[in-house]
Amino acid sequence: MSTYNTQHTQRINELDGVEPASFSRRLIAFILDVVIMAALFVVFASAIAPLLVKYGLVDSDEKIVFALNLNWYSIAWTILYFSLATYAGNGKTPGKWILGIRVVSLVHSRMSLWHSIERALWYGASLLEFGFGFFQYFTHPTNARFMIVLQKRSSPVIFKKSTESHDIC
């Protein structure tokens, strides 16, 4: 008879005792990322606007504006920014890097591209739930209270960067 043997036990044990990032650090990092993302959008949109008009993706008289609730390209840019920044920084977007926190996979030692994309998509899902996914940070009754709905669904967790040499973050 065979028995079940989880492959992720070692990774979970490596993360045991690491301090989770506070909500205030996470919020400030998110705000910094939105500012950086909007600035990059202005630069990129200015360069690519003629192509978008040429291929009929936007009207020639339409202003290209970064507004998450108004157009498809702002949503696509947001998903692209958070996915690629999280992946390239191995869990550290520019905002998280400034605040000394990072996203850590519960499965792998490095954030995979898929986990990074999945995480970015769950931000949208949490917003679609009128922010309830973020509100759960304050209402979760267990000691894993730092896990909001997007983390429960996509498996990464955000930890505070430690000064200890054995820290995996």
Residues 21-33 have pLDDT tens digits of 887 888 899 899 9
Q: Which two tokens stand for residue 146?
A: 């730092």
Burial 97-131 (b: 16+ CB within 10 A, else e): bebebbbbbeeeeebeeebbbbbbbbbbebbeeee
**Range among 108-112, 129-133, 147-151 rated most confident:** 108-112
For residue 60, what pLDDT is reported? 74
82 found inside a domain: yes
- Range 140-151 average pLDDT: 46
Nearest to 37 by CA among 87, 89, 74: 74
56 found inside a domain: yes
Q: Confirm whether pTM is higher than 0.85.
A: no
- Range 123-127 average pLDDT: 70
22 or 83: whose pLDDT is higher? 83
Vertex 22: Cα angle to 142 and 93 (nearest 5): 120
Quote the number of domains for the chain: 1
For residue 2, what pLDDT is reported? 66
14 found inside a domain: no
121 found inside a domain: yes
166 found inside a domain: no
Q: Which residues contact 150 (CB under 8 A, 6 or more apart)?
A: 119, 122, 123, 125, 126, 133
Asked if 29 and 94 touch (Cβ cutoff 8 Å), the reply is no
Mean pLDDT rounded to a whole number for the chain:
75
Which residues span the domain enclosing 120? Answer: 21-160
107 found inside a domain: yes
